Amino acid sequence: MAVIWGLDLKDMQWGKFKNSYMWNKEYHLRRTKFIVYQIAMIFCVVSESLGTAALSDYVDQQAFVAAHSPGPETATVHNNDYIGIASYNIFVGVYVATIFGSAFFFDLFWPERKEIPSVKLAWRICSVLACLFTLSCALASTVILATRSAYVTGTDAATASRLLAEYGGSPLRYRDNGRAVASVVFLWPGMVATFASTALLWHSLSHIDVHGPKSTHARTRDGISADVDAEKSVDGSADGIAPDTRVGGAEARSQVSA
């Protein structure tokens, strides 16, 4: 089987999705990471999907009003503020799913992989960016949804109302759009889960640097001690006191005893 970036593709097996393997206690914080990573991905992707549905309606609303407006001047629906933030939310959802989805599958298929420092740094940077993206998107979406509305120019109020009624789609006031509201509601817990996922990722990388990927339970069972300070010197005494290795140490003791 091919090996890509040091990862043996033969380790990608359906059997690793079994409960007995996926939720075991063999690796440090394995179950916690899997749960929190999936919460972050699910909430952000659901938010993205709901926002995309609302965005599509507002784009169609623009096209319908422009195409059916009477008179020489084309009527225009100004709702690009919501279209912009909903587009950004799509990027955020895809980004979170990519970063923590990758972390999920890497930990599932290759939990004992070896990563060079630059790769670990990349994990840390990408996870922090995920926090910044979700936080900025949640704040901007909330402000736009709570305070802004679309409006129509290029025609009189009666014609604008008629065209909007004929379209029968999204309301001009964004907070009256159920899917837009639901998108923001799902985004906030997704943002919190993204912060939690980042904290778990950083903690996991630090644990691997010191102890390796195995959990305390697994290392104790296997008789593995990752604490360098706890290791006894091979040439130490029976009571664990290291011998005097200083030059002339043995001769000095001999002279004192004489």
Rounded percentage of the chain residues whose pLDDT exceeds 70: 81
| pTM of the predicted structure, to 2 decimals | 0.80
In this prediction, residue 95 has a pLDDT band, given cuts at 50, 70 and 90, of very high
Q: What's the confidence (pLDDT) of residue 254?
A: 43
Task: Give the pLDDT confidence of 6-15 residue by residue, as tens digits.
Answer: 665 766 777 7
Task: Give the pLDDT confidence of 141-176 residue by residue, as tens digits.
Answer: 999 999 999 999 988 888 889 989 988 878 999 999
The distance from CA 97 to its chain's CA centroid, rounded to whole angstroms, is 6
Q: What's the confidence (pLDDT) of residue 108?
A: 83
| Residue 222 pLDDT > 90 | no
Q: Say how far apart CA 41 and CA 197 lie, in whole Å.
A: 10
Q: Where are the domains of the chain?
A: 36-215
Contacts 24+ apart (CB under 8 A), 209-212: 209/120, 211/28, 212/112
37 compared with 235, residue with greater pLDDT = 37
Task: Give the pLDDT confidence of 182-205 residue by residue, as tens digits.
Answer: 999 999 999 999 999 999 999 999
Q: Where are the beta strands (DSSP E) in the chain?
A: 3-4, 7-8, 76-78, 151-153
Q: What's the confidence (pLDDT) of residue 133?
A: 97
232 compared with 159, residue with greater pLDDT = 159
